[in-house]
């Protein structure tokens, strides 16, 4: 082999080694990229896009905890519509706001719609793991989803759940049903069949989901005890509670409170 050929062969071998090394580094860098930390926000009875709007804005602009990337709307006939705020990052903290067009539907129907939304998020964006944050009835239907659907294939793994002012023993306003309509209003009453079924199915609640229940002494609709009765469903090792002693934080004011923000940030991300 001539000297020229030897030099050419050596150059080709070196180039091949560099290519292989680069490919290995690229593959490793992709493998080592952590998946996105996704949190889905679920409004309560009669909730709308406004329900979590200001909290999500605070999480983004004031606390710098993440960014809303998807609004997930479920129509009254159960169709899931995904609206992206921009490109979906491959990592980082991402927020999804879930909005039900029929915001007075029963626990059963709303939990089913929640399951369809979570299935769509996994299928569309490959979100393998999510946290859930539910206000009022949003916390209840999140628990029902976990009991009925979470162990079935096709859904993201639920890592942590935060319930905010969720009445697991029913509302303390006995006249609420007289002033409000829809199947959900009846489900929210103390000793309703829907709440009893939720408690009866507690053995189906996943044992590896970490839960935080937040209540306020200023909540005019839901008593502290009603929120904390969730501990009868969730395994004690994974149940945490936080009671805010502040008469100014009402039921609808819970998702407007910086105190609630801090409890969620610490529980979900140690912020």
**Other Cβ atoms within 10 Å of 210 Cβ, number:** 18
Average pLDDT rounded to a whole number, residues 17-38: 55
Architecture per CATH, 36-269: 3-Layer(aba) Sandwich (3.40)
Structural tokens at position 146: 């976990």
Of the candidates 251, 249, 239, the one whose C-alpha atom is nearest the C-alpha of residue 212 is: 239
Instruction: Answer whether residue 252 shows pLDDT above 80.
Output: yes
Residue given tokens 């989803």 in the structure block: 145
Among the listed residues 77, 124, 76, the one whose alpha carbon sits nearest the alpha carbon of residue 96: 124
User: What pLDDT score was predicted for residue 70?
Assistant: 97
The reported pLDDT for the residue numbered 241 is 98
For position 1, what pLDDT does the model report?
Answer: 55
pLDDT band for position 2 (cuts 50, 70, 90) = low
Residues 6+ apart with CB under 8 A from 125: 70, 88
71-120 pLDDT tens trace: 999 999 999 999 999 899 989 999 999 999 999 999 999 999 999 999 99
% of the chain exceeding 90 in pLDDT: 83
What whole-number distance in Å separates Cα of residue 128 and Cα of residue 38? 9
> Which residues, 6+ apart, have CB-to-CB distance to 83 below 8 Å?
70, 71, 72, 73
Q: Confidence band (pLDDT; 50, 70, 90) for 16?
A: very low
pLDDT digits (tens, 9 = 90+) for 199-219: 999 999 999 999 999 999 999
Give the pLDDT of residue 3: 52
Does pLDDT of 34 surpass 90?
A: no
Tokens representing 166?
């969720």
What distance in Å separates the CA atoms of residue 155 and residue 150, rounded to the nearest whole number? 7
> What does each C-alpha distance from 211 to 6, 139, 205, 243 come to in angstroms?
67, 11, 11, 14
Average pLDDT, the chain: 90
Q: Give residue-wise pLDDT tens across range 112-154.
A: 999 999 999 999 999 999 999 999 999 999 999 999 999 999 9
Q: Quick check: 13 pLDDT over 60?
A: no
Question: Can you give the pLDDT at residue 21?
Answer: 40
Sorted by sequence, the CB contacts under 8 Å of residue 203 that are 6+ apart come out as none
What residues does each domain of the chain span?
36-269
Question: Which pTM value belongs to this model?
Answer: 0.87
Q: What is the DSSP string of 144-187?
A: HHHHHTTTSTTS-EEEEEEEES--TT--S-TTHHHH--SHHHHH
For position 29, what pLDDT does the model report? 42
- DSSP assignment of 58-112: IIIIIS---EEEEEEEE-TT--EEEEESS---SSSEEEEEEEESSTT--HHHHHH
H-helix or E-strand spanning residue 24: helix 3-32
What does the DSSP assignment read for 207-263?
TT-EEEEEEETT-SSS-HHHHHGGGGTS-GGGEEEEEE--TT--TTTGGG-HHHHHH
């Amino acid at each position: 082999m001539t000297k020229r050929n030897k030099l050419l062969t050596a150059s080709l071998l070196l180039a091949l080694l560099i290519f292989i090394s680069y490919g290995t580094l690229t593959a490793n860098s992709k493998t080592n990229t952590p998946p996105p930390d996704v949190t889905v926000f679920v409004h309560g009875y009669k909730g709308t896009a406004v329900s979590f709007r200001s909290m999500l804005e605070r999480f983004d602009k004031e606390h710098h905890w993440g960014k809303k990337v998807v609004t997930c709307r479920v129509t009254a006939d159960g169709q899931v519509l995904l609206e992206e705020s921009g490109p979906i990052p491959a990592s980082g903290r991402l927020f999804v706001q879930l909005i039900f067009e029929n915001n007075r539907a029963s626990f059963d129907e709303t939990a089913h719609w929640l399951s369809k939304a979570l299935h769509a998020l996994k299928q569309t964006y490959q979100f393998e793991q999510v946290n859930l944050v539910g206000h009022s009835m949003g916390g209840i239907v999140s628990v029902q989803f976990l009991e009925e659907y979470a162990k079935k294939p096709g859904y993201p793994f639920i890592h942590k759940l935060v319930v905010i002012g969720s009445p697991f023993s029913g509302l303390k306003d006995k006249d609420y049903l007289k002033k409000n309509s829809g199947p959900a209003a009846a489900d929210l009453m103390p000793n309703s069949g829907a709440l009893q079924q939720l408690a009866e199915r507690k053995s189906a609640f996943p044992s590896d989901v970490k839960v935080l229940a937040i209540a306020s002494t200023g909540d005019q609709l839901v008593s502290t005890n009603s929120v904390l009765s969730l501990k009868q469903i969730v395994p004690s090792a994974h149940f945490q509670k936080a009671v805010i002693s502040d008469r100014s934080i009402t039921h609808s004011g819970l998702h407007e409170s910086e105190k609630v923000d801090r409890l969620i940030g610490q529980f979900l991300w140690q912020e």
